[in-house]
Amino acid sequence: MGSIADISLVLLSGLKITLIVLILSIIFSTLIALIAGLSRVSNNWLVSGFTGFYVEIFRGTSLIVQLFWFSYALPGLFNIHLGSDVWVAVLAISLNYGAYMSEIVRGAIQSVPAGQTEASIALNFTGFQRMRYIILPQAIRMMLPEYGNYIIQILKATSLVSLIGLTDLLYYGNIYRSTHLSEAPTVYILILAVYFLLALPLILLTRKMEKVAKKGVVHG
């Protein structure tokens, strides 16, 4: 059973990259989702149109292809270099998931009853104040459960970054397996276990957010 300890140690060296990519991707995809979601409900058709274009492009193509694009095609074609591989991965994942998540932002904003907007117009709030104090706080409660699900999906998506050469969990697992072929099952069972352990707090968080959401959206 010495090998389990050995394998774990090897995997551990990949954990750092996985965590960095995960955390940065969560932060940036959330920001992108908020900005894109708000832009899509904007009255300015240029803003909403351009954002719609972005969302459909990134939802309509696969994350793996986007990773390869940012990593190999952009530098080769246009001499655009996005910096280190970690940033390339974070950017691709964030733009991809930001596009999906912007749709839940948009949907939630649009499902806040019109009466809320009307009451806040009657109280003479500015457009920005209406969004900031009345609409968004209610919309965010509605989006929380779905948001949690996307965060878990982002974790799973981080396992793709080894394809552009990042030395994450899966990368080290594959390296170890290639030199210890007979231990392949143990390697992948351990990889599964580590991913599940990472997902566990996110799953619990999602549960909690579902509860908050249920409490928050009773109509006044």
Interacting residue ranges for other proteins, rule: CB under 8 A: 113, 115-116, 118-119, 121-127, 129, 133-134, 137-138, 141, 216-220
Q: Where are the alpha helices (DSSP H) in 69-168?
A: 74-78, 85-111, 114-122, 127-129, 136-157
Question: Measured in Å, how far apart are the chain's first and last C-alpha atoms?
Answer: 61
In the complex with other proteins, the residue whose CB is nearer, 16 or 211, is 211
Shortest separation between residue 41's beta carbon and other proteins, angstroms: 16
Shortest separation between residue 62's beta carbon and other proteins, angstroms: 38
Shortest separation between residue 31's beta carbon and other proteins, angstroms: 22
Shortest separation between residue 122's beta carbon and other proteins, angstroms: 4
In the complex with other proteins, the residue whose CB is nearer, 122 or 181, is 122
Shortest separation between residue 135's beta carbon and other proteins, angstroms: 10
Q: Phi/psi at 210 (nearest 5 deg)?
A: -60, -40
In the complex with other proteins, the residue whose CB is nearer, 203 or 217, is 217
DSSP string over 141-193: HHHHHHHHHHHHHHHHHGGGGGGGT---HHHHHHHHHHH-GGGHHHHHHHHHH
Buried b (16+ CB within 10 A) or exposed e, 153-186: ebbebbbbbbebebbbbbbbbebbbeeeeebeeb
In the complex with other proteins, the residue whose CB is nearer, 67 or 209, is 209
